[in-house]
Amino acid sequence: MADPLPLAHAGHYIWTLYIPPVAIVVFSIVKTTISERRKAREEEEARKGGAGKGKRG
Amino acid sequence: MSFDLLPFAHALVARQDLPIPAWLFAWGASIVLIVSFYALSVGWREPRLEQDTWRPLGGEGLSRVLLGRPAQALYGLIGIFLLGVAVYSGLRGTEAPDRNFALTFIFVTAWLGFPLFGILLGDLFRALSPWRAAGRAVGWCFQRIARQPPAHLSYPEALGRWPAAAGLVAFVWLEIVYGSSGGITVGISPHTTAVAVLVYTGYTLAMMALFGVERWCATGETFSVYFGMFATLGPLEARDGRLGRRRPLTAATRWATVPGSVAVVIASIGTTSFDGGQEGVLKNAIESTFERLSDTSLSLTWALRLTDTIYLLLVIAGVAAVYLVGVQGMRTIRNAPPARELRRAFAHTLIPIAFAYLVAHYFSLFVYQEQAQFTYLLSDPLGTTTTDLFGTASGTVNYGVISANAIWYVQVGALVVGHVTGLVLAHDRATALWKDYRQASRSQYWMLAVMVAFTCFGLYLLSQANQ
């Protein structure tokens, strides 16, 4: 017969199951914030690039 | 189950038989919050709770009957009488905590009942406050004798509600820390409670004499501020002698304009969290620290009190830190006001959460102890076993009136409703501060994280307390 899984102390770590919802929300916020800032930076650079071409013309 | 050593600070629960694990309820509650957040972002684009929506209710006759001077005097007398019974019971009655009127009346009926009535109706405590009634009576007598109103000092604006916040922490400290004795959690004794009430009464009347009754009740008197905080969510309000109704939640948006308001609501959540955590989540840490402190010159009793005090303050600081994370997150959005302004602007969004924590942790205690309050404690307030004023002294508490599963569902429901309400208040305030609703929604990402964190933390505390 296979040895049973050592789950006698698994209850001590039950608190970890309460973390994922918080972690998912925080991760989503960080990811959204980074992508929004990258988008804003790209738009700013595109605007500056467009203004520079206009001056040279 | 023996309840002779009834620890009033703790919810009473029995073994549950839930269909799914407790942690899965936390996941479900979090999904409800996220969906609510999305719904608010899409459908709530303008502030709707910032306006003062108070309108008179009924005719002037109704207000005259309910709020006139004779009625005010009657309410005040009722409040003073009940406080007097509690003090007398504490001083002269039995030391058995479950048989003495004082403990149940102060720590259950009043402490939990007034917030509940405040949410459902309005600020009932303002009418019944024994200290406000006594202060007004003394002021009236002074005016009759001196033929001029009493002169008061100007209340320091910067002090705000800080005295009330300190009083709130002191009240809970007295109830669940001071009452600890050498590891046996008996809870505070009726005699100590009565003495504390007398000391607090002297202090409150002195402050009222210095700063004025209404000023002190609005800022420094702990119970007026605490119960009044919850009442801002309710639909009824008396104004200039007229009874009126308002849209629920609208008064809360104007509550936190006074310094120290953030401290009051943070203290409420923190003290309830500590009470829920000390027998569960924090138990091992408290025992470990207690063992270290008991090796010093401190007595066992004071080693335990000091340990509990340290963890009480740490939990309050932890709750404050989580709130500040939400505030700092809002600062990442363009055109965000300064952090100090944001802290105060969003403090009221924590009021429903404070109430949710109160319900979640003490609902079962309230259900059980109110049976005692209105049976044997009413007929035999001193616990003599020979008195039977109303013929209910032989009454008992029916602990089977609500099942353990039902208690858990009420706890989960309270936390979900409380946090969704907090989200609504936060989103509404954000739409007022950021005119662009998209920026307003983005500013609330971190408050959503705060709400999810508080929900999961609250359910974890409850699940551990129920072990």
Which segments within B145-273 are labelled E, that is strand?
A: 236-239, 242-245
Provide the H-helix boundaries in chain A: 20-56
pLDDT tens digits, residue range B295-318?
A: 888 888 889 999 999 999 999 999
Contact B193, B90 (CB under 8 A): yes
Q: Is residue B11 part of a domain?
A: no
Which conformational region is residue B183 in: left (phi greater than 0), alpha (psi within -120 to 50 degrees), or beta?
left
Q: Is residue B13 part of a domain?
A: no
CA distance B454 to B216: 32
Q: Measured in whole angstroms, how far is the alpha carbon of residue B365 from the centre of its chain?
A: 15
Q: How many helices (H) and strands (E) does chain B have?
A: 20, 3
Owning domain of residue B69: 22-465
Q: Which of B20, B33, B460, B462 would best serve as a mutation to test chain A binding (most A beta carbons within 10 A)?
A: B460
The per-residue pLDDT for B334 is: 83
Query: Comparing C-alpha atoms, which of B66, B48, B457 is closest to residue B280?
Result: B457
CA distance B53 to B60: 19
Q: Is residue B386 part of a domain?
A: yes
Helix (H, G, I), strand (E, B) or coil at B245: strand
pLDDT tens digits, residue range B43-84?
A: 999 999 999 999 999 989 999 999 999 999 999 999 999 999
pLDDT tens digits, residue range B146-188?
A: 998 889 999 999 999 999 999 999 999 999 899 765 444 457 8
The per-residue pLDDT for B186 is: 52
The per-residue pLDDT for A48 is: 87
Helix (H, G, I), strand (E, B) or coil at B181: strand
Chain A residues within an 8 Å CB radius of B453 = 22
Chain A residues within an 8 Å CB radius of B30 = 21-22, 25
Q: pTM of the full predicted structure?
A: 0.91
pLDDT tens digits, residue range B446-464?
A: 999 999 999 999 898 888 8
Question: How many independent structural domains does chain B possess?
Answer: 1
Q: Is residue B45 part of a domain?
A: yes
Q: Average pLDDT for residues B397-419, to the nearest whole number? A: 92
CA distance A47 to A45: 5
CA distance B382 to B402: 28
Tell the residue number behind the tokens 């309840």, with chain if given: B3
pLDDT tens digits, residue range B386-407?
A: 899 999 999 999 999 999 899 9
ipTM reported for the complex surpasses 0.85: no
Task: Give the nearest chain A residue to B454 (CA atoms).
Answer: A22
Residue B3 reports pLDDT greater than 60: no
The per-residue pLDDT for B452 is: 94
Question: Which secondary-structure segment (H or E) carries B56?
Answer: strand B55-56
Number of A/B CB contacts below 8 angstroms equals: 41
Q: Is residue B17 part of a domain?
A: no
CA distance A41 to A39: 5
Q: Is residue B154 part of a domain?
A: yes
Contact B237, B121 (CB under 8 A): no
The per-residue pLDDT for A13 is: 81
Tell me which residue in B281, B449, B453 faces A29 most closely, judged by beta carbons.
B449
Q: Is residue B7 part of a domain?
A: no
Q: What is the pLDDT along chain A (57 residues), one digit of tens a residue?
A: 455 556 666 667 888 999 999 999 999 999 988 888 898 889 889 988 876 665 554
Q: Is residue B322 part of a domain?
A: yes
